[in-house]
Structure 1
Amino acid sequence: MNGEEKRFKTKTGFCHILTDRIILTRDGVIGNISKVVVGKSITRVLLVYGGISAFLFYSAYDGFQRGETFSTVLFGLFGLYLVYGILNSLNNSAIPSIERNKIKSVKFKKAIFGLTRARFILVFEDENQKMKKRLIMLPGSWDNGLQETEKALKIMREEKLLD
């Protein structure tokens, strides 16, 4: 790295690639909101999703009691979708600093235009020797996303982090 810090823009701030660790910082309005809402743990977000899914299941049950098939199916499917998302996110982490020697793999997922953002998925071992997943969401198409994604890919390849 020749003493220079390599960084690229993320959805909520910047990702700094250092010789010994990766540091994710939050910046701007979106970053400040995510500091308050998420912090270092995604537990609050998962609890909110759990509350919403409980409400959806209650609404589905209520619709079933009244004989409303459409609302029963609709609310039930949305509730199941949220539960699926919660289960998939249980091993996710919002930790801002990850030691490079603890990183087991880094994968890149392309964006689906208009639906998803490009992202890196870092699998790492936390301080309790548990495998965790950290998502690094890249900027969207409205925020110069394509150029920022190319820059991020170049840095991750130069640092030999990308699988």
Structure 2
Amino acid sequence: MDNEKTFKTKTGFCHVLPDKIVLTRDGITGNITTVTVGDNISRILIIYGGLSIGLFYFAFDNYRNGQIVQSILFGLLGAYLVYGILNSISNSATPIIDRQKIKEVKLKKAIVGLTRSRFEVLFENDQGKIKKRLIMLPGSLTNGQGETEKAIKIMTEEKLITNRKSSDNQF
């Protein structure tokens, strides 16, 4: 693996090889992710669906009892979960992405204090469907700035990032 380039992610490491991208999980966070999500996100989407049904039930029940504020709150939370489910249906948790099947790689920069930087990799899966794999980079408490710079350098050198301008130096 002489041509391997590696950078840290939120739950492990990303290995950029000449023919594929391999994501490995490491440590406590990676082990928890492996148990809860595995290589498929359908389980977590089903859990979110169950939670949203429960929230809509509480919204309806509170509305029947005349508690309008609570019913609006539960309804909005349920709608937010449904929105998240709909946005995540095309996501994938696959650990190996064939570089020939990659259509696009976008860098999404962090919003300080709210989000972390990430790569969105659009690729064609084995069934011919376009899927999105998120590669979450480390946060600010785990040297996020330095690791993000390293990751961007590797992805740029490998000519994978499609939305980055050469004059863009903010992370």
**TM-score category of the 2 structures, normalised to the smaller one:** over 0.9
Distance 2:111 2:50 in 1: 29
| Residue 46 of structure 2: aligned partner | 47
Distance 2:89 2:127 in 1: 15
Query: After TM superposition, what 4+ stretches of structure 1 lie above 6 angstroms from structure 2?
Result: none
Q: CA deviation at 1:114?
A: 1.5
Q: How does 1:112-151 map to 2 (within 5 A)?
A: 112-151=111-150
Q: How does 1:4-153 map to 2 (within 5 A)?
A: 4-153=3-152
User: What secondary structure sits across from 1:25 in the alignment?
Assistant: strand
CA RMSD, Structure 1 to Structure 2 (Å): 0.9
Whether 2:154 is the aligned partner of 1:162: answer: no
Gaps of 5+ in 1: none
Q: CA deviation at 1:117?
A: 1.1
Identity of aligned residues (%): 62
Distance 1:130 1:20 in 2: 20
TM-score by length of 2: 0.93
Q: CA deviation at 1:7?
A: 0.6
Q: CA deviation at 1:20?
A: 0.1
Gaps of 5+ in 2: 163-171
Distance 2:55 2:117 in 1: 29
Counting matched residue pairs gives 162
Distance 2:127 2:55 in 1: 35
